[in-house]
Structure formats: C-alpha cells, structure tokens
Amino acid sequence: MLCVLGLLGVTSKGGNTNRFKGTVRDEAKRKYIERSFHTRHSASLSSAFIVPDVNLEGACDTVILGCSGIVHTASEMCMQPDITKAVIAVVHGVTSLLDSAVRTPSVKRFLYTSNCNAAAAPKANVRIQITPELWNEDSLKDVMAEAP
C-alpha cells in the first residue's frame, strides 16, 4: 500500500488498481477527496487521514504504518512574508517525515515531489502554460532578495 501525503495535490487516471491512503488538512477536504476518489477510482483510496500540519514532528507516524512507499506532495502554502521561516518549516517537515519513514519497517521507498508553484508563481487572472522549460523566476528573485 502507498501513502500519499497531500492528497489534494494528486491527479490520477481512471483505472488505478493500486490501493493507497493519504492525508488532507481538514474534514472538508477529507470528504471531498473520498467522494472524488471513490467516484473515479472505485475503492482505490483506502482512507484519508486528517493531518493539519505535516511539518510537525511525528505528524504522519500513524498514517504511514503498513505502507511500503510514501509519496510526499504536501508542502507549506501559507505564503508567509518571512521566507526564511517558510523554508525552515518545510525542511524540518521533510526531515521529520524521513525520520518517521526510517523508523517504519514497512516503508521501502520515499518519493518527494514538487508542485506547479516551482514552475510558476500564481497570479490573479493570468493564464500560463506549464512546460518542462518553465521556471519560477519571480519566487527565486523574492527568495534571493530576502536571503540572510
């Protein structure tokens, strides 16, 4: 069984026969995900766990029990003004999750993914096409301008 951390970031094709469980941040998202996946993929989603903050130490320990692999799509999306704090929170969250994975005997694989924000910063009323060549220059400039 796979564990997907950040189910709202997942898109998949119909006909998926793999069983998996995953996380969402609140009850409304859990209901939406369960309804969506059960409609499109029969019963491939075993369960959706509510984990409000995956960056907290041990936040996903219970969720990953019995999983052979982890797909980590969740990330800090609060867009807080202090970029240093945001980066530190994300790095701490990922290393904490890796520590949890090491302590869980069933886990054999870990996939850390990104999202479309790495390619382009969202802008109101601006449509862009995401391509392999696209890179988020705006966010890179923001981070470099605020680097300590």
At 52, list the tokens.
Answer: 């409000």
Helix (H, G, I), strand (E, B) or coil at 115: coil
What element of type H or E holds 37? Answer: helix 27-41
Q: What are phi and psi of 103, to 5 degrees?
A: -80, -10
Fold of domain 2-113: Rossmann fold (3.40.50)
Gap between the Cα atoms of 118 and 25, Å rounded: 21
Digits of tens for pLDDT over the chain (148 positions)? 777 887 765 555 555 556 778 888 899 988 888 787 767 665 566 788 888 888 888 999 999 999 999 988 877 666 667 777 777 888 888 999 999 999 999 999 999 887 677 777 777 888 888 888 887 888 778 767 765 5
CA 135 from chain center: how many Å?
20
User: Any idea where the domains of the chain sit in the sequence?
Assistant: 2-113, 116-148
User: What is the pTM (predicted TM-score) of this model?
Assistant: 0.73
